Structure 1
């Protein structure tokens, strides 16, 4: 396993998508929709998360002709990845002032 991935906005979005339902398998198109990342951004992030041991990947066991589509590669947070994602995103929220990056209304203009 490599060292922990650098926490970029892109990595944070992917981890947040996994944390929406941490016990579910997610596939590429699903994660692209959840994060807004194109495949050229998403898959390198997933690879870095795999190398760090935070995410596992497995191929779906499906007959492509019966399913009418190619087999999907499913990604899931590992127990280590789940704990690390929660810690890293909490630290990021704290660093951003607890707002999670959301813009807070100015009380003088509300």
Structure 2
């Protein structure tokens, strides 16, 4: 799946990449200054393209955290921090 890197997509990718720990969707919204109606569709597209992955939040029931996959880091032109797949 092809992903267009718009400003909004770039902000979401950067927010995930630069976070000290894998962020929740709400944290991504706060960091980017974008609403959930913008951020969650972007997260969905990135997930379907294999650019990001999710896992349950370690301490908050029902919350999910997001991380860039190695492929996502490469495709976004970000320096791969680690190969976490």
Normalising by structure 1, report the TM-score. Answer: 0.63
Contact kept? 1:61, 1:71, Cα under 8 Å: no
Structure 1 stretches of 4+ with a deviation exceeding 3 A read none
Aligned ranges 1:93-104 → 2 under 5 Å = none
Contact kept? 2:24, 2:65, Cα under 8 Å: yes
Normalising by structure 2, report the TM-score. Answer: 0.79
Over aligned residue pairs, what C-alpha RMSD do you find? 1.9
Displacement of 1:61 after TM fit? 4.5
User: 1:44 maps to what in 2?
Assistant: 41
Number of equivalenced pairs: 78
- Pick the structure with greater CA Rg: 1
Equivalents in 2 of 1:60, 1:18: separation in Å? 14
Displacement of 1:12 after TM fit? 0.9
Q: Secondary structure at the match of 1:5?
A: coil
Q: Which of the residues 5, 8, 15 maps onto 2:6?
A: 8
Contact kept? 2:17, 2:67, Cα under 8 Å: no
Equivalents in 2 of 1:4, 1:16: separation in Å? 18
**Structure 2, unaligned runs of 5 or more:** 79-85
Equivalents in 1 of 2:37, 2:25: separation in Å? 11
